[in-house]
Amino acid sequence: MEKANTQNIPSPIGENKQRIDARDKVTGAAIYADDFQFGNSLLHARIKRSPHPHALIKKIDTTKARALPGVKAIVTGEDFPGYIGLYLQDRFIFCRERVRYVGDPVAGVAAISEEIAQKALDMIEVECEILEPVLDPEFGVSPKAPLIHPDLGQYVVASFILPKPGTNISNHFKIRKGDVDSAWEKCAAIVERKYRIPHIQHVPIEPHVAIAKVDESGGVTLWGSSQSPFAQRNLIAQSMGISQSDMRVIAPIVGGGFGSKAGVSMEALAVAIATKVKGRPVKLLLTREEEFFTAFVRQGLVAYFKMGCDEKGRLLAVENRFYWDAGAYTEYGVNITRASGYSSSGPYEVPNVKTDSYCVYTNHPVGGPMRGFGMPEMHAGLEQCIDELALQIGMDAVAFRKLNCLKTGSILVTGSKMHPTGLPQCVEIVAEAIGWGKKSPPSAPHKRRGKGLALMWKAPAMPPNAGSSAWVELAEDGTLNVGVGGQEIGQGVFTVAAQMAAAALGVPYESVRIATPIDTRYSPYEWQTVASRLTWSMGNAIVRAAKDARRQILEVVAEAWEETIEDLDIVNGVVISFKSEKEIPLKNLVIYGLPKPGDQGWRGGPVIGRSNFMPTYVTGLDPETGQGERAVVHYTTGAQAVELEVDLDTGRIEILKGVSAFDVGKAINPEMVKAQMEGGFVQGMSSALFEILQLKGGVVQNPSFVDYRIATSADIPKDLQAYIVEVAQDDGPWGARGIGEHSMVPTIPAIANAIYDAVGVRFEGPPFTAEKVYLAMQDAGLIE
pLDDT digits (tens, 9 = 90+) for 334-352: 999 999 999 999 999 999 9
Q: Do residues 764 and 646 share a domain?
A: yes
pLDDT band at 4 (very low <50, low <70, confident <90, very high): very low
Q: Are residues 597 and 667 in the same domain?
A: no
User: pLDDT tens, 549-604?
Assistant: 999 999 999 999 999 999 999 999 999 999 999 999 999 999 999 999 999 999 99
659: left (phi over 0), alpha (psi -120 to 50) or beta: beta
Domain co-membership, 428 together with 545: no
Contacts of 44 (CB under 8 A, 6+ apart): 110, 111, 112, 113, 114, 116, 117, 282, 283, 284
Residue 503 lies in a domain: yes
Residue 14 has pLDDT above 50, yes or no: no
Query: Mind listing the pLDDT tens digit for each residue in 410-432?
Result: 999 999 999 999 999 999 999 99
Helices (H), 634-782: 670-689, 747-759, 770-779
Same domain? For 624 and 748 the reply is yes
Q: Is residue 357 part of a domain?
A: yes
Q: Do 107 and 66 belong together in one domain?
A: yes
Q: Phi, psi at residue 248, to the nearest 5°?
A: -115, 130
Residue 269: inside a domain, yes or no? Answer: yes
Domain annotation covers residue 147: no
**pLDDT attached to residue 25:** 47
Q: How many Å separate Cα 446 from the centre of its chain?
A: 40
Residues 352 and 499 grouped into a single domain: no
State pLDDT tens for residues 660-714.
999 999 999 999 999 999 999 999 999 999 999 999 999 999 999 999 999 999 9
Are 631 and 665 found together in one domain?
A: yes
**pLDDT confidence bin for 33, thresholds 50/70/90:** low
What is the predicted pLDDT for the residue at 513? 98
Query: For residues 270 and 158, is the Cβ–Cβ distance under 8 A?
Result: no
The one-letter amino acid at 581: E
Whether residue 648 is found in the same domain as residue 605? no
- The domain boundary residue, chosen from 613, 632, 660: 613
253 and 117 co-located in one domain: yes
pTM as predicted:
0.95
Residue 193 lies in a domain: no
- Provide the pLDDT for residue 253: 86
CATH value at residue 588: 3.30.365.10
Per-residue pLDDT tens for 434-478?
999 999 999 999 999 999 999 999 999 999 999 999 999 999 999
Question: What CA–CA distances, in Å, run from 395 to 308, 310, 386, 439?
Answer: 14, 12, 11, 17
Q: Is the pLDDT of residue 331 over 70?
A: yes
- Per-residue pLDDT, 39: 84
pLDDT confidence bin for 655, thresholds 50/70/90: very high
Instruction: Provide mean pLDDT across the span 746-758.
Output: 98
Check whether residue 662 and residue 679 sit in a common domain.
yes
pLDDT at 548: 98
d(CA 267, CA 270): 6
Whether pLDDT at 18 is above 70: no
| Residue 172 burial by Cβ neighbours in a 10 Å radius (0-12, 13-18, 19+) | buried
In this model, does residue 15 exceed pLDDT 60?
Answer: no
Same domain, residue pair 339 and 437: yes
Single out the residue in 613, 636, 651 at which a domain terminates.
Answer: 613
Averaged pLDDT score across all residues of the chain? 95
Span 108-161, pLDDT tens digits: 999 999 999 999 999 999 999 999 999 999 999 999 999 999 999 999 999 999
Q: Answer whether residue 11 is part of any domain.
A: no
Tell me, yes or no, whether 140 lies in a domain.
Answer: no
> pLDDT tier at 35 (50, 70, 90 boundaries)?
low
Q: DSSP letter at 316?
A: E
741 tagged catalytic = yes
Q: Which residues of 206-230 are buried (b: 16+ CB within 10 A; e: fewer)?
A: bbbbbbbbbeeeeebbbbbbbbbbb
In a domain, 598, yes or no: yes
**pLDDT at residue 2 in the model:** 38
| Domain ranges, residue 70 | 40-131+208-285
Q: Which entry of 741, 764, 771, 784 is annotated as an active-site residue?
A: 741
Note whether 714 and 702 are same-domain residues.
Answer: yes
Domain ends where: 594, 613, 632? 613
Q: Compute the distance between CA of residue 580 and CA of residue 744 in angstroms, rounded to an integer.
A: 54
Domain count, the chain: 3
Q: Tell me, what amino acid is at 234?
A: N
Question: For the range 273-276, what are the long-range contacts, defined as Cβ-Cβ under 8 Å and sequence gap of 24 or more?
Answer: 273/45, 273/73, 273/75, 273/108, 273/109, 273/110, 273/212, 274/110, 274/212, 274/213, 274/214, 274/220, 275/75, 275/214, 275/220, 275/240, 276/72, 276/73, 276/74, 276/75, 276/79, 276/110
Give the pLDDT score at 26: 41
With a cut of 90, say whether residue 19 has pLDDT above it: no
State yes or no: pLDDT of 5 exceeds 50.
no
Residue 198, preceding peptide bond in cis (omega within 30° of 0): no
What whole-number distance in Å separates Cα of residue 110 and Cα of residue 733?
47
Q: What is the CATH number of the domain that holds 85?
A: 3.90.1170.50
Cis amide leading into 81 (omega within 30): no
Which amino acid makes up residue 91? R
pLDDT value at 24 more than 60? no
